Structure 1
């Protein structure tokens, strides 16, 4: 099994067996602890940043929300007129997204449990991957972008864990002291190195969001 499939399976197991309720609460309006509040605030800022990279009027555009979780980003895209497919490896998170789905949206909204690389999902004008690729190494991210490129008409915006001293220290500690009950380990990346590794297309930095215990960097890929 490749590292991509093994990592994807670890992420699915974690969210379906360990973190579903935590994630459901974090992505709601329910009160959360101070640490989780910083994560919620950071994710809200990142979601707004990624959406801002797409046109304001998305009528007629087909958009893939890759790693849609409980659906917050997909809802906003559909309300803006996009035809949205939200896909996530976790069936339980998809169940939550379907229950939260607004009754009326300007575009269309479909949720699926599965792999974001599944060619059966079809072609897209835009793809957003918010914190869905943070567990993959550079070879996997290169593969993901390469597999998606033939089905991408405009661009993909996504996030990675940036290569900072703190995150590198945490990553090395995780490698030294693995725990089976802990979430999959984020893999810090240099956007410059990722760009050089791409066989085709261009990659550019958008912005970094740092909010307490949340840190993530937005990137734009054009095939």
Structure 2
């Protein structure tokens, strides 16, 4: 898992040092550029797609929001009655999520800054991981899913960057040019190749394309 550790460190550094303010603004009602408006709309649509895979009533269910960011998904899960463990590798994003959480949900949500695969987080009825696996290769994604599956009674709903010509162009350019001051490389995945890595239990849910936001929702049930 050395690739995983290296990528995780790079992602943590990016969100904690370079992109905190960008994501704080993007995941809010604040005015943003037209390009970021398409990203915001795409993320809103994807969040709804992912939530549609879970029961409308989550009362009594324990749900892991893996890569909770600023807490938009966390709040919606809590509104359905879930006991939510909201984890993110960025302490700064966790702090924003805590500040934004409505007081009425305080007893339902446990925040943690750290690794989504940490066994100390316990077991779950459902796992949601929105755009938190998009920087990892297929081997690492399979390992993460297998680790989480051992402690999850239901499905793991997550997103990847699909292998489209548009995203492959960005991926190729990202490997060519230096990335010292830019975000980690997002790795596009073909479904068949990813299914080969994960083994049985991987299913397509839906794809969202909104301007520069292109993401595919998958569900893993071993």
| Class of the TM-score when normalised by the shorter of the 2 chains | over 0.9
- The alpha-carbon deviation at position 107 of structure 1 amounts to 6.9
- The alpha-carbon deviation at position 148 of structure 1 amounts to 1.0
Corresponding residue SS for 1:151: coil
C-alpha separation in 1, matches of 2:30 and 2:12: 24
Q: Deviations over 1:115-148 (max 9, x none)?
A: 0000000000100000000000001101101111
Counterpart in the other structure of 2:19: 19
C-alpha separation in 2, matches of 1:30 and 1:177: 32
> Residues 107 and 222 (structure 1 numbering): CA distance in 2 closer, same or farther, change over 3 Å?
farther
Alignment of 1:211-222 (within 5 A): 211-222=210-221
Alignment of 1:120-131 (within 5 A): 120-131=120-131
| 1:69 is aligned to 2:69 | yes
TM (normalized to structure 2)?
Answer: 0.98
- The alpha-carbon deviation at position 178 of structure 1 amounts to 2.5
Alignment of 1:72-83 (within 5 A): 72-83=72-83
C-alpha separation in 2, matches of 1:5 and 1:128: 21
> Residues 19 and 203 (structure 1 numbering): CA distance in 2 closer, same or farther, change over 3 Å?
same
Q: Deviations over 1:100-127 (max 9, x none)?
A: 0111139711111000000000000100
C-alpha separation in 2, matches of 1:210 and 1:83: 31
- Segments of 5+ residues of structure 1 without an aligned counterpart are none
C-alpha separation in 2, matches of 1:185 and 1:178: 11
Corresponding residue SS for 1:166: helix
Alignment of 1:18-37 (within 5 A): 18-37=18-37
C-alpha separation in 2, matches of 1:90 and 1:166: 29
Deviating above 4 A after TM superposition, structure 1's stretches of 4 or more consecutive aligned residues are: none
Counterpart in the other structure of 1:53: 53
What CA RMSD, in Å, does the superposition of the two structures yield over aligned residues? 1.2
Counterpart in the other structure of 1:181: 181
Aligned 8 A contact 1:89 1:115 in 2: yes
Counterpart in the other structure of 1:156: 156
C-alpha separation in 2, matches of 1:153 and 1:35: 38
TM (normalized to structure 1)?
Answer: 0.97
Q: Deviations over 1:153-194 (max 9, x none)?
A: 010100000000111111011111122110001000011211
> Residues 107 and 79 (structure 1 numbering): CA distance in 2 closer, same or farther, change over 3 Å?
farther
- Segments of 5+ residues of structure 2 without an aligned counterpart are none
Corresponding residue SS for 2:84: strand
C-alpha separation in 1, matches of 2:15 and 2:70: 11
C-alpha separation in 2, matches of 1:210 and 1:198: 25
C-alpha separation in 2, matches of 1:131 and 1:210: 14
Counterpart in the other structure of 2:91: 91
C-alpha separation in 2, matches of 1:107 and 1:79: 12
What count of residue pairs does the alignment treat as equivalent? 222
Counterpart in the other structure of 1:165: 165
